[in-house]
Structure 1
Amino acid sequence: MQVKSRALDGRLLSGFLARSGSRLAWLMSAFLSLYVIGLLVPDTGLNFVVDGVLATLVKLSLVAVCWTAVVRKRKHRRAEPTSGGPIRSRQPELVLTAVAISTIAFSDSLSLVSRFWGDGGLREVIEFAYLVFFLLMVTVLAILLRRRLRGMVWSVVLDSTIGVLGTMSVLAVLLGPVATALDAAGANTAISTAVAYPLFNLLLVAVVVAVTTSQGPVAGRRWILLAFGLLIFTATGLAFIALKANYVLGTPLDAGWAVGLALIALWADASSRPDVAQNSSTNSLAALAMPAVSTAAGLGVLLLASQTTVPAVAVGLAAATLALAAVPLVSRQMALRRQARTDELTGLPNRRALYAEISRRLATDQSPNRALLLLDLDRFKEVNDSLGHDAGDRLLVQVGRRLQAGLGPNDLLARLGGDEFAILLEHSDQAQAEAVAVRLRAALAQPFTLEGISLQTSASIGISLYPDQGDDRTALLRKADMAMYKAKSTLSGHHVYRSVDNRHGDVRLRTLQELRLALTEDQLILHYQPKINLTTGSVSGVEALVRWEHPDRGLLFPDQFLTLVEEAGLMHALTQEVLRKALDQSVLWAAQGRNLTVAVNLSASSLIDGDLPERVGTMLSARDLPATALMLEITEDFLMADRDRARDILTRLRASGIKISVDDFGTGYSSLAYLRDLPIDELKLDQSFVFPMADDARAAALVASTIDLAHGLGLKMVAEGVENSVAYDELVRYGCDFAQGYFMSRPISAAALDEWLTARLNAAAVP
């Protein structure tokens, strides 16, 4: 109960102090307003009411506000809970400020006495009091500045230093004539000291303003009161010195001291109050203002020095200001240069850096043998398509680290873009380059973990040798690129450039261009392979298989161009074309009374399209076809790479009535849990299981058990690659639902299929 009572007393006292401080501040402002108004009224001499009573009330209220702030701050500090943390440090700046203003109030009272009742030897005491005031305020500024600079980043310190130097250069110019006049007049030490302390105070104010504007927080508003108070006070003192012989007491100049002290007192009052939530965001405009203005000031001083005589110290300070102002520009330029030569994702050198470094190293000719390796990840696009680009980016970062770990200290690794990396090996012949390629591929073969999924990747590496296969950067890069695509197409892992590869590279580039034309000039055609119902012997559907009717090379099969389609990013367009042609053909068959389901293969890159279900549904509706007219075949790779994405897309397709078939079943590396979790209708047993059935009892048993597995899960089973009657009869005996293969029919054109279907019906009608 006693603790609670003390806390309550503390809150009451804090509240009383806050209210009293606020009232005193308002009272001080009222006295100050009356005093300033009184000074503006013309009179013939000293006015007892204005220069005596009101001036005294202003000074007393200033002292009361400052000491109330000291008491309030101490009370708040004692009342603040420490929560087990360190006790907050004392803030002596308020006490020093109160002492300084009390000293000035005492000095002005003595000055008033000397004006009304004679000097009486008080002038030395008054000058000493002003000197004490400046020393105390210099100490206050030093304390505040030290606290402000604690933990400040170097850029803010630099901006603040620029601000200080710029201010000092301007002050040196302005005070040059003053110093000359004082010297000409034979000014004594006392007058010089009286000028020096206000100037030093102005300099510290400039430091405070520089730091405050560089940081730019809202809390700096309190600093503005202190800064402007000291500026007004010291400016008034300088004006007094300049008008020493003509100064008259009771003029508006006297208001400058009072207003300056009032602002300092208000700063003390505000600083003693508890901190409120402040928006600490940096004002970029304010942060740039001080260095920009100071730089302009320094430039102005140098321009002025070219036209007239300027103190040497002013020129030196201005030159230092401009020199420091150039530091951020140079630093920024260097940062931009590094950024322009660094890959943002991996932190490795980028293509530009690689080109420059290869040219530099080849020009030095310090190594007689070098090798350039171009590395491209295999099937990286499927990682992006199935797991997303974020996962693909993380994979690239990990790949970069593994590659760097497998290289020597003088070897150069760079990322060219996408999933392509380049490596320049120093002091390397062909055997050493191939050994590095094997070592890097082995490092990349170790599993990566992405999105909680453990996956393996491989790479194709092309190698070109210096100087045997090129003595400049362009030749080495071009030949390494051709070798890399040779390694990718032959699945050899790595390949060293040979002269015959040049022709292969030309063929590849020409084929890519022709592929784009094929999509726009209707050169792609579909062949159809029938699916036989093994129970009834009827044809229930067909599988659409794309062919390229090349104008010069004749009919090309998918294995001759689909890899290039993927590499060129044309798979989406190709899939759209196949769907369009297959559904158009389905319309023709429906008009002939043939109810055939057309199966279309979809690649993993096609299935990442979130709009695929809606687009397929639109294509069916536009042709007035039922959803049962189409079946989509997908691979296990897609199902296992991204289970959630597969479930979402397949569920939406199934909801529209489209059937889903899993192609090449049995060739995947994962568990069969997806058969339970994902909405699929049919499994197509890969032909590698069907081919050996006639001669391999274990293969036949495996096919039989797979058929039972599918039926147990409520799925239909299709056997691919049926090439003889033995396999056909065995599949019928095992209860397989459908079969495809050369034994029944090869993939044929739509016209040939019509003839084949007609002949089959006619043969069935013959008794």
Structure 2
Amino acid sequence: MVVGGVACVIALALTDWLSGSGVSLVSLADNLMTSMAAVATVAAAVTARTGSGRVRIAWAVMAIGLGSFTVGALLWFVYRLTEFEHPYPSVADAAYLVLPIAVGIALIVLSTGFSRTSRTRLVLDALVVAWSFTIVGWIAVLSEIWKSAPGDRLRVAVSAGYPVLDAAVLTIGVLVVARAHGVQRRTLALLTAAMAAIAMSDGVFVYLTATRQPTDTALLYPGWLIGLALFIGAAVTGRGFTHREVIAAQPVSWTSLWLPFVPVLLASAAVFTQSPADLAVGPIPLIGFLLLLAFSARQLLVMSENRSLLATVADQALRDPLTGVGNRIVFRDRLSHAMQMRQRDGLSVGVLVMDLDDFKVVNDTLGHPVGDELLSLVAERIVGSVRAGDTVARLGGDEFAVLIEGRVDHSQLVAHRVVEAFDEPFIVDGQDLLIRPSIGLAVAEQGDPDLLAEDLLKRADIAMYSAKRSRAGGVHLFNAEMLLSETPDNDLFASGPMPASRSGASTVRLLGELRQAIDQFELTLVYQPKFDLKTASIVGVEALVRWPHPKRGLLSPDEFLPLVRRYGLMGSITDLVINQALDDVVRWRKDRLEVPIAVNMFAPSMADLRLPGKFAKALAERNLSPSQLTVEITEDLFLDHMERTKTVLNQLQEFGIRIAIDDFGSGYSALSYMRDLTVDEVKLDRHFIAPIPADQRASAVVRAVLNLANELGLTTVAEGIETAATADWLREHGCHIGQGYYFSPPLTADKLRDILKRCDRDSTCRATGCSLRYGSCHWSESDVTHIELMR
């Protein structure tokens, strides 16, 4: 752009300097024009080389056109030097005329917002304007050349070629710029402005030739020089040109409406100023006939476009503009029709409603454009999963619906195919996003003849919210019990803090991988032994979840539990941990090892009234005693729905399951929990324990909690014991149980089993207890190495 600006300044200064119209100065102008044409050619070629697709094609054509102009300038310069007698018309003119053709092609190739039909109309508009100006130019100027040299038809044709091509290209340029957007408009406007400057000098040249005036004048060069400078600027800005083909319904610009008509009116007015005899002498009848053909074809095309536009508007009124599937209006209409046909033919009607899990994360972290693209890809997946006659619609936001007509099993089959369509990740903006849907399905069968379309849609919506609350995946088929719990309370899974260092894209990717790991049971458990501080014997273990990530290695809970809490995956995690932990208890029991086990529960999950039944079923299936299970409530968040939580805890205790408050002292309402909840254990948080016995204030607080717990009859457990001094202090002040790396790191299920079996065989361990510390048990060197490494 800077080069173009400097060239413009030089050209304008040169115009003033060449006012004497001397031949030597004209030769200098010829030299400058040739040099600038060569620079413009090189600039266009470089832009073509760095571009791709349509951009490369357009600038390759421009390089050809500017190269041809350069050749023409060189030939014209040679004609002047050799004092060639008849330089017009010549091969140089043929070379010059290639440039407007190249510019017109480049503008059409780079244009956006045009369909194939509208591009055809663009060319017809250019022809209408060109023929109109040909008529005006003929009557004003070219008729003189015709009369002065009636036998020199080539001279007349070349003289007419300049204004005709220039007018056509300028028409294309104006219409293309009117529809251009953003950065595209700058490049296209520079091309059009360059062609306008070239056209000005071409017009002066044709006029001087027609009136037989000398053409070796400085008045010709400003337009050519400015035009070439603008071509250089367009080539420079064209390197950042990104062509995006957008064919969508757009408001019709006023320019496209009036532009073809004004030249036609001017041509008509010019014709009326001539006598019939004058008109019959030249080519006006033929040009007028061509103008009529072009204008008629243009109007027929406009009528066809209008009819297509009306059909498109009618279709878009029933379609979602973002995804292209049906909208809420068409879905309700077809659902009502299907329900009416159901009453007549007795066929079942199924409605599937689905909502994308964690879609808000995509919008918040990756931006709404990525979210919009993801919705479009989701719609494509759904359409590819259903049958040809099923109706897919977007109800709003990230909620979609499918209308399925036919047998009940067909509805369920289609629903499961939709679920399977989300097994593969979506590739959006170079990111792999694994998004899962919550899907609810409601089917209207023959036994419910009075069911309305609105009620069926509401049932599917309730089933979808049930799926979203449970986070269990799959298809949730509506049943009457869902009406009793129709409270889509997503606040139940309150969000915890997210790691600040994690980027939006990696958060979404990690969340998708976590869902996949849960679905495929890839999370594992390790167990940290709990010791009686008086006897040093193992009295139980705490199950701790780990994620062996295929790329990031073994992830601790701190690295993925914030995602679990924030996006409502705790229910799935809890099911996985409970079942895997109880399965390990069963395996230990086969080796005659009775090991009580504790599992962590996210505090808000304790309001789920179905929880006691789940635990009872899991224990009964494995023939385990409820006394072997302790539920530890993570006490780092408020407990919601306190009354429901009390009910759940009472049912668990009545069943025989022990209740513990975990991380006591780290949360908001520890003392109120001890007062309001009927619990069996209090586990002191590691940060609560660490300062003792060095910090007297910390020691006083812990001592008070231990005394209070003893008065309430609660078992006290200290977490995070790292030193012998801490263990001795806790033992002296009445703490019952301890765990931490001083005693043992978390162990795998197999390693824990091996150690317990060895302790069971060792008489010293049976008599004095086992602390898993080197020296108090007779371990092999490999056991010691294993424990030290894990520490």
Q: What TM-score results when the alignment is normalised by the length of structure 1? A: 0.49
Give the structure with higher Rg (CA): 1
